[in-house]
Amino acid sequence: MAKAGLVALILGVLGVLLGGGVLLVSLLLPALTDGRTSWDEALLGIIPGALLLCISFVVAAVGLVVMLMQRKKRAQAAV
């Protein structure tokens, strides 16, 4: 159970990177393809990318809080 916070933090950060990358590429797709890709087609990547980014951010924040609470608990136990 001591590593649960670290695992959640790592998965959250990886999810934020993946979601951010998908969102960025999907947002740039219509502009970079000179209109060959419509915004309706780009939304197929924008929506999941934004959802993954938001959910992963929450997971990373929860992992960070759990890690900090475990660190505080260990510091109090050592005193």
> Per residue in 20-67, pLDDT tens?
999 999 999 999 998 899 999 999 999 999 999 999 999 999 999 999
The predicted model gives 13-20 an average pLDDT of 97
What pLDDT sits at residue 79?
Answer: 76
The structure's pTM equals 0.84
Domain count, the chain: 1
The boundaries of the domain holding residue 8 are: 4-78
CA distances to 15, 23, 57, 62 from 18, in Å: 5, 9, 11, 18
Give the other-Cβ count within 10 Å of 30's Cβ.
17
Residue among 46, 49, 45 nearest 19 (CA): 49
